[in-house]
């Protein structure tokens, strides 16, 4: 039996073991959170960015080695330009902060997705963050202009460029944006929707799923504790017995 809780400073503290190395979050519900308050959707995204920092820090504290977050999908360009621009501005703010603060936290940051349509300035800063943090031991993958279908098509095309004439599962896996980390053990979606919305389609083959009605900006460390406890109550069989 693996010990999940240990005493530290007289409070129960959750520590995860190797069974739960990687959590992937679908950060959903920012717009509804703002609407409930009579505020523009952009306000929800600003609050959501704060929650992102709180939750990723907390995952580090409880021993999660890899966190992947869905920040912007290949389909999110369909939204009004003002909202897309506000999101891009938030990403830029975060990348500047990553350059100054995050890289010092022993976190290797990767931006996963198709960077082609992003601004040159954003691409340059992303490359600086990725290069500067590449030797760190924990992982944070931020999915921007990410689509699972796009990722698989891209992986196949890369394999073809590598000279493959027949594509194996291994060829695809080694060319995914996430080829540097383990598959997600747990996929966690906020705000009530129970779908993947094109997130980690290949990688989620044997992931566990956790859904909560809590809107992303309201998410608290206690909600992570609940999901972790739920995860540890499950038996993963991978098709075996």
Task: List the single partner that 134 binds among ligand IPE, Mg ion, none, CB under 5 to 8 Å by kind.
Answer: none
Task: List the single partner that 183 binds among Mg ion, ligand IPE, none, CB under 5 to 8 Å by kind.
Answer: none
Give 95 or 191: the residue with its C-beta nearer to ligand IPE.
191
Q: Which residues on adjacent β-strands are paired with residue 8?
A: 11
Task: List the single partner that 147 binds among ligand IPE, Mg ion, none, CB under 5 to 8 Å by kind.
Answer: none
CB of 196 to ligand IPE, least distance (A): 8
Is residue 28 among the annotated active site residues?
A: yes
| Nearest-CB residue for ligand IPE | 31
- Across 119-152, b (16+ Cβ under 10 Å) vs e yields eeebeebbeebeebbeebebbbbbbbbbbbebbe
Task: Write out the two tokens for 99.
Answer: 């350059």
Task: List the single partner that 59 binds among Mg ion, ligand IPE, none, CB under 5 to 8 Å by kind.
Answer: none
CA–CA gap between residue 151 and residue 5 (Å, rounded): 37
69 backbone dihedrals φ, ψ, rounded to 5°: -125, 140
**Dihedral sign computed on CA atoms, order 211, 43, 72, 228:** negative
Residues that bind ligand IPE (CB under 6 A): 26-32, 70-73, 76, 87, 191, 193, 195, 197
Residues that bind Mg ion (CB under 5 A): 28
Of residues 9, 17, 28, 145, which has the active-site annotation?
28
Give 34 or 172: the residue with its C-beta nearer to ligand IPE.
34
DSSP string, 204-241: GGG-EEEE-SS-GGG--HHHHHHHHHHHHTS---TT--
Is 111 in contact with 133 (CB distance < 8 Å)? no
Is residue 141 among the annotated active site residues?
A: no
Task: Write out the two tokens for 119.
Answer: 């601004």
CB of 181 to ligand IPE, least distance (A): 19
Give 58 or 216: the residue with its C-beta nearer to ligand IPE.
216
End-to-end CA distance of the chain: 19
Of residues 65, 76, 136, 154, which has the active-site annotation?
76
Question: 52: left (phi > 0), else alpha (psi -120 to 50), else beta?
Answer: alpha
CB of 45 to ligand IPE, least distance (A): 6
Task: List the single partner that 32 binds among ligand IPE, Mg ion, none, CB under 5 to 8 Å by kind.
Answer: ligand IPE
CB of 54 to ligand IPE, least distance (A): 16
Give 16 or 203: the residue with its C-beta nearer to ligand IPE.
203
CB of 214 to ligand IPE, least distance (A): 12
Give 159 or 227: the residue with its C-beta nearer to ligand IPE.
227
Task: Write out the two tokens for 132.
Answer: 């500067």
> Nearest CA to 211 among 223, 201, 198, 220?
223
Annotated catalytic residues are 28, 76
């Amino acid at each position: 039996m693996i010990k999940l809780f240990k005493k530290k400073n007289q409070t129960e503290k959750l520590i995860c073991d190797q069974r739960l190395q990687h959590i992937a979050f679908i950060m959903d519900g920012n717009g509804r959170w703002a609407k409930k308050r009579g505020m523009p959707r952009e306000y929800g995204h600003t609050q959501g960015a704060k929650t992102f920092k709180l939750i990723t820090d907390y995952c580090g504290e409880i021993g999660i080695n890899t966190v992947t977050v869905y920040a912007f999908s290949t389909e999110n360009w369909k939204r009004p330009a003002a909202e897309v621009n506000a999101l891009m501005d938030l990403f830029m703010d975060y990348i500047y902060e990553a350059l100054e603060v995050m890289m010092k936290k022993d976190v290797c940051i990767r931006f996963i997705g198709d960077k082609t349509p992003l601004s040159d300035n954003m691409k340059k800063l992303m490359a600086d963050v990725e290069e500067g943090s590449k030797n760190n031991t924990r992982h944070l993958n931020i999915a921007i202009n990410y689509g699972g279908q796009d990722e698989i098509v891209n992986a196949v095309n890369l394999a073809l460029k590598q000279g493959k004439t027949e594509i194996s599962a291994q060829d695809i896996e080694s060319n995914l944006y996430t080829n540097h980390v383990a598959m997600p053990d747990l996929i966690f979606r906020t705000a009530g929707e129970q779908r993947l919305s094109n997130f980690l389609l290949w990688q989620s083959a044997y992931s566990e799923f956790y859904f909560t009605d809590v809107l992303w900006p309201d998410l608290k460390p206690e909600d992570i504790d609940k999901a972790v406890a739920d995860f540890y109550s499950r038996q993963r069989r991978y098709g075996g017995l």
